[in-house]
Structure 1
Amino acid sequence: MSRSTDAGHFFQTTAALDETARKIRKAKNKLGNPIRLPSKILAIAADPYNASCVYVAEAAGTVKRVVLETGDIAQVFRPKTNLLAPLTCLAVSTASREGAYGTLFAGSWDKNIYCWPLVKNGIKAPKQLSGHSDFIKALISLNLGDTEILVSASSDASIIVWDVKAGTKLHTLKGHSRGVTALALESLSLDEGLPFATIFSGDSNREIRRWHISIAASHELPTESNEETIPGGPFAPLLAHETSIYALRFDSDGDLWTASADKSAQCIVRERAWAVDTTLTHPDFVRDVVVDENGGWVVTACRDEEVRVWERGSGKLFHTFSGHYEEVTGLLLLADLVVSVSIDGTVRQWSLKKADLVKAIEEAAKPPLEEEEGEEEEKPKGSGMTEEEERELAELMESD
């Protein structure tokens, strides 16, 4: 017997019914030029070869390459498995090998990482990296010399460094006591052409740790020092938040921006021994943060459905983009455009040009137009998941 996913088939409280009605009304809005997909979107990544396209990871278990201007789906990448599981994170490599001009990586609930060679014609079957014992939560792709490296983080509290071509583990890093939820490549570690990299990791126990990554060896580094190669540990973690870390991003100054379930985003300053300099307070969990260096903006994604634009220098909220009708799960900065994705299954685009932001503020101040009579009601699309899977996904995202 098939299992129903229709909410109407289950008992719902008045509050739940009101919330469903609110989302149905809000789903009609065209703010951010929504591109609607049939599943919850859990992650987004840039197409390094085409700025007009993005990759999105779906709870339905596929990655789609979306054309931003038209909303067309250019490609669909499916793991080679009989049972598709939600894909939670993405990374794209530009290293060419074996007839491919790059590799698309996706981390999955099924504990595996899927690796699609990017080719000019068609889609090749993915290779699979297996080694974690729980959900994959974050990925970073980089090159060390001639070696293509992938770094993965998991709910099993470990970080694995992979040789992509060989499909083998180079190192397993342990130090976190809870699931590792975020990774960031420290940009300054790449500027000098060194044969190693430095990454930061964040977990669901609010800890931020720092790691030396190389082909020969990988190990933890102290966060109170900017030394790059001192082995040792365990070291005391950097504690800037009250609870789970959802995102880590470095800006061009080498400062670290964070997003957390403690309802804040922060800027942690490298030259001040990683002290907190700026705190951006939100009404709910902050899922992602990006920094627009040219415009002087910081943009955040929140569980309250909003995308917020902050003045980087002052930390003042400049504008709130309202359009999504479910939690915003990811952001991608493309020049003076920020692209957001959400549990509502939409991809939306927001201009960060000052003139466009001022216009958006003026438009937001106007009273909403009355709905046209007879307008067809647009209901939020289902995710293709069962009720049990929906509940498990919601619990997982809330607890991380």
Structure 2
Amino acid sequence: MSILVSSSSDKTVRIWHTGNLEQPLTQLGLIRAHTRPVEALAFEKCTDTSGILYTADSLGSVKVWDLQRSGGSSGECQITLRDDWQPHRTGINSIFIANGLMLSGSSDETFIIDKVPRKSVNSKILHTVSQPAAVKALLPLFLILPEEDYIVAGAGDSIRIYSYDPSSAEDPPELLREIEAHWHDITSLAVWVRTSNLNQVELWVLSASLDSTLRRWNINETLKSNDNLSTPSQQLPPSFKPENHLTEEEERELAELMDDDL
């Protein structure tokens, strides 16, 4: 569809035409339906000119939109609300859509798995998975790498690895491993597929945190280990306090964000 979708704390979602990146982006559509900052987006392409957009906000609300591009490179995007519901009690930090499933992680200390589109407004959520802290990062590996049936959640300073088979969607995720990964909240997770010198494919998860570090974890080795995994003491001693590189204004903004999560 040659579009870019952006969301903002100004409670809007904007749709941009990206057909000619040598020119300023042209706005194709604007969504003003949310009453709180829009924190996460997911998009599912239907045809070359249509798709389904999921928008999630800091109130825990998800809205689903049909997008239809009109003819021509400068044609506007027709936006139609398809569904609107609140699967979480508070802010949604990440959302993923693929293969008829929606996964979302929230500051309400859960992540959910649900079937989409919903059959009715009273449809029950398929799985609600409780966590020990706010889920600020979620990585459904089975949506990215179909051969891997894992979901990785960043809950507080811990990484939790689940097994989940989408072909048996009714079966709940199984917790396989919990890693004490950081000294502060995990903010982002990403996957790294690496080929070793022995031509072996290694699956790694990368984690970023408010403790000012990036870390990498070999998933297969982690799951094989019988030891309780925690942040290596030789890297960060228990008394570790990250050096403060924040300005006074950034410290105030961080304090406000932390207060919002309480």
TM range (shorter): 0.7 to 0.9
Counterpart in the other structure of 2:223:
357
CA spacing shift, 1:397–1:180, aligned 2, 3 Å: farther
Counterpart in the other structure of 2:157:
305
> How far 1:168 moved relative to its partner?
2.7
Aligned partner of residue 395 in structure 1, secondary structure: helix
**Count of aligned residue pairs for this structure pair:** 226
> How far 1:398 moved relative to its partner?
4.8
1:173 is aligned with what amino acid? I
Supply the distance in 2 between the matched residues of 1:300 and 1:170 (Cα, whole angstroms): 34
Q: How does 1:78-157 map to 2 (within 5 A)?
A: 144=1, 147=2, 149-157=3-11
Counterpart in the other structure of 2:66:
212
- Note the residue ranges of structure 1 that are not aligned, 5 or more in a row: 1-143, 224-236
**Could you list the per-position Cα deviations for residues 83-141 of structure 1 after superposition, in whole angstroms to 9, with x for gaps in the alignment?**
xxxxxxxxxxxxxxxxxxxxxxxxxxxxxxxxxxxxxxxxxxxxxxxxxxxxxxxxxxx
The equivalent position to 1:381 in structure 2, one of 233, 237, 243, is: 243
* Rg comparison, structure with higher value: 1
Question: Stretches of 4+ moved more than 6 A in 1?
Answer: 368-371
Preserved CA contact (<8 Å) 2:178 2:229: no
> How far 1:247 moved relative to its partner?
0.7
Aligned partner of residue 228 in structure 2, secondary structure: helix
Supply the distance in 2 between the matched residues of 1:184 and 1:256 (Cα, whole angstroms): 9
Aligned partner of residue 363 in structure 1, secondary structure: coil
Higher-RCO chain (CA-CA 8 Å, sequence separation at least 6): 1
Supply the distance in 1 between the matched residues of 2:232 and 2:93 (Cα, whole angstroms): 36
Matched, 1:346 2:206: no
Supply the distance in 2 between the matched residues of 1:365 and 1:338 (Cα, whole angstroms): 15
Please give the root-mean-square deviation of Cα atoms over the aligned residues, in Å. 2.6
1:339 is aligned with what amino acid? L
Counterpart in the other structure of 1:97:
none
The equivalent position to 2:102 in structure 1, one of 256, 261, 286, is: 256
Supply the distance in 2 between the matched residues of 1:194 and 1:268 (Cα, whole angstroms): 26
Q: How does 1:179-328 map to 2 (within 5 A)?
A: 179-186=37-44, 189-190=45-46, 193-213=47-67, 214=69, 215-223=75-83, 237-251=84-98, 253-270=99-116, 272-273=118-119, 275-293=124-142, 294-302=147-155, 304-313=156-165, 314-328=172-186
Counterpart in the other structure of 2:72:
none
Supply the distance in 2 between the matched residues of 1:321 and 1:198 (Cα, whole angstroms): 35
> How far 1:388 moved relative to its partner?
4.1
Preserved CA contact (<8 Å) 1:269 1:275: no
- Note the residue ranges of structure 2 that are not aligned, 5 or more in a row: 70-74, 166-171, 194-202
Q: How does 1:66-77 map to 2 (within 5 A)?
A: none
Supply the distance in 2 between the matched residues of 1:257 and 1:179 (Cα, whole angstroms): 19
